[in-house]
Structure 1
């Protein structure tokens, strides 16, 4: 069997997605997600102009060799564009291998380690009353874990709080919008939010919170300590992750668990944090981390150091990536949680898939391969539309992390 064609498909059924479809001479096809939020066309070009010509004539069964060929052969390694492109190829090749074998990909990874994948949803609101309504809604849907994000009094708009509660998409404009931030107001407000949520819903629901890289290490330590009475499953991305040593400071001051990694691209981004047990959950995801092959290596390293998975699963990852994530999630021994932001009906129609939600769990399905595809005719009805994530400034105008 040989690869005879590979198509890069950009579509925007409510938000932009980049998909690679690999075709073999025996008619077996595979799909991989290559979406990089706000930089989609950079990955499209990387695939179309630099990667696809290298795939023609290759044996699709040689997944590891192809991964090394694209990674080592590029010389200019790593980075989100390169690793998203490699991920698309790798994921599509796993899809093909599963179809040829007549097995779901998770069986090729060692089989099920659990019956379902525990997911968490996003409850957010500008006011406390809105937050309580949203938490209750997710619990009514069967979720066992809920991420809670709150507006901050005195700040007109907070990243992570949206008008559309079910299909949240933060990339909202052709050029970045600007918002204002106050760390002091945030640190003063957040503990009262979780005190109220715990009082309302009791100790059993797993609660999470995303800090969005906004704090310094000692500020994050203060937040973690103030949240200890409410037993959070994790605080996510408390500080910008470029400096692993910052997490050591947080660790010295709080027992609130820490999750990070959704902006990581390789095992080397995460290695120190994992080896020194400075985090509890690693949130890297298939599309931005070089595919199933490379992310499995990250999770295996994490398993040796008591770190569990907590993969990113926002709406900027297509159903192709979600399907791939679920096959990994259900196979690895150190699974923790899977983020699950639902896609719109238009997106689901473009990407028909076998995975399904039931009573707090996602199930990957038993179809050979990944159990997901792209309807190219439907995709063609939704052309690319420029969309950027917002940027954040302090009240004095200084640019600041989200």
Structure 2
């Protein structure tokens, strides 16, 4: 079997997605997600101009060899564009291999380690009362884990809070700017989780995303103040470039820490995991080199009792979600999988076999990763430039969004 062609499909059924479709001389095809939110065309160009020409004529079953060729052979290693491109190829090749075997992908990864993958939903509101109600709605739907975000008094455009029910940060046109106040946020957040526990009890797993906005000592203060409410995790409490910063947070709080949705390789994760400075690693199939590399990260994390909590927002296509669910079903150290519902247009463009029931998802039994693309329908949604927002402090200083 040989690779005969690989095509990049860019579509925007409400938001932009980049999909790689690899074709073979035996008619078996595979799909990979290559979406990089706000920088989609960079990955599309990297694939079309630099990767696809190197794939033609290769044996698609030599997944590891092709991964190493694209990683080591480029000389310029890592980075979000390179690793998203590699991830797309890797995911598509695993899709092909599983289809050849006539098996769902998770069977090639060792079979099921559990009956389903626990997922968490996003509940957000303009104020505490609205967020409390939203959490209640997801509990009624059967979710066991829910991320809670709320508007902060005195601030507009707070991360995680939607204008309507569903949050989508990327917006058409140039980046939107919002004003941030750490003081207002730190004073407010404990009251949100106090209200959630009073209303819904200690049963539901509650999560919260800080989204890189605090200094280490501020994050430590927040974690300490949230301890009575037993969070499942506090996500991205501070930027992770300086990973020693997490040591300071660890010294002051036992609130579990999750980080890594922007990580690109095992080298980004290594120190945090081996020094046991985090509890959950959030790297993704699409941004961390595909199924092959994320499996390496998960296996390494398991040595230190760190569990996975893979990013799963709507900036990842159903192709990535399908692959992530297969991996999450198979690995021994799954923690939870993020789940944001795609809109109806996206679900129609990417028909899939994964399902959701009572807070658990299953990738299905379709050979491969179980996600396809309707190319005719995809063509009806042309690329539309969109950017993620930026944040500034009250004095105009650019801050971490």
Q: Same fold (TM over 0.5)?
A: yes
- Name the counterpart of 1:46: 46
- Name the counterpart of 1:94: 94
Displacement after TM superposition at 1:141 (Å): 1.0
Q: Over residues 358-387 of structure 1, what are the superposed CA-to-partner deviations in whole Å (9 max), with x where a residue is unaligned?
A: 110111000111011111001000000000
- Name the counterpart of 1:113: 113
Alignment of 1:3-402 (within 5 A): 3-166=3-166, 168-402=167-401
Q: Over residues 28-53 of structure 1, what are the superposed CA-to-partner deviations in whole Å (9 max), with x where a residue is unaligned?
A: 00000000000000000000000000
Q: Over residues 9-43 of structure 1, what are the superposed CA-to-partner deviations in whole Å (9 max), with x where a residue is unaligned?
A: 00000000000000000000000000000000000
8 Å CA contact 1:173–1:389 kept in 2: the answer is no
**SS at 1:87's partner residue?**
helix
Displacement after TM superposition at 1:56 (Å): 0.3
Q: Matched residues in 1 for 2:141 and 2:11: separation?
A: 30
Q: Matched residues in 2 for 1:144 and 1:136: separation?
A: 11
Q: Over residues 313-370 of structure 1, what are the superposed CA-to-partner deviations in whole Å (9 max), with x where a residue is unaligned?
A: 0000000000000000000000000000000000000000000111101110001110
**SS at 1:138's partner residue?**
helix
**SS at 1:18's partner residue?**
strand
Q: Matched residues in 1 for 2:288 and 2:127: separation?
A: 36
**SS at 2:225's partner residue?**
helix
Q: Matched residues in 2 for 1:351 and 1:375: separation?
A: 6
Aligned residues: 401
In the alignment, structure 1 segments of 5+ residues that lack a partner are none
8 Å CA contact 2:172–2:384 kept in 1: the answer is no
Q: Matched residues in 1 for 2:139 and 2:95: separation?
A: 33
Displacement after TM superposition at 1:173 (Å): 2.5
Q: Matched residues in 2 for 1:221 and 1:41: separation?
A: 38
**SS at 2:245's partner residue?**
helix
Displacement after TM superposition at 1:305 (Å): 0.3
Displacement after TM superposition at 1:247 (Å): 0.2
State the superposition RMSD in angstroms.
Answer: 0.5
**SS at 1:274's partner residue?**
helix
Q: Over residues 184-237 of structure 1, what are the superposed CA-to-partner deviations in whole Å (9 max), with x where a residue is unaligned?
A: 000000000000000000011000000000000000000000000000000000
Moved over 3 A (4+): none
**SS at 1:180's partner residue?**
strand
Q: Matched residues in 2 for 1:315 and 1:352: separation?
A: 15
Q: Matched residues in 2 for 1:25 and 1:295: separation?
A: 29
Displacement after TM superposition at 1:252 (Å): 0.2
**SS at 1:147's partner residue?**
strand
Which piece of structure 1 moves more, 124-133 or 334-343? 124-133
Q: Matched residues in 2 for 1:128 and 1:151: separation?
A: 8
Displacement after TM superposition at 1:164 (Å): 2.9
**SS at 2:20's partner residue?**
strand
Displacement after TM superposition at 1:157 (Å): 1.9
8 Å CA contact 2:182–2:214 kept in 1: the answer is yes
**SS at 2:386's partner residue?**
coil
Q: Matched residues in 1 for 2:81 and 2:270: separation?
A: 20
**SS at 1:196's partner residue?**
helix
Q: Matched residues in 2 for 1:259 and 1:164: separation?
A: 27
Q: Matched residues in 1 for 2:367 and 2:139: separation?
A: 32
Displacement after TM superposition at 1:68 (Å): 0.1
Displacement after TM superposition at 1:132 (Å): 1.3
Q: Matched residues in 2 for 1:358 and 1:219: separation?
A: 38
Q: Matched residues in 1 for 2:367 and 2:125: separation?
A: 40
Q: Matched residues in 1 for 2:156 and 2:73: separation?
A: 48
**SS at 2:258's partner residue?**
strand
8 Å CA contact 2:13–2:349 kept in 1: the answer is yes
So what's the TM-score if we normalise by structure 2?
0.99
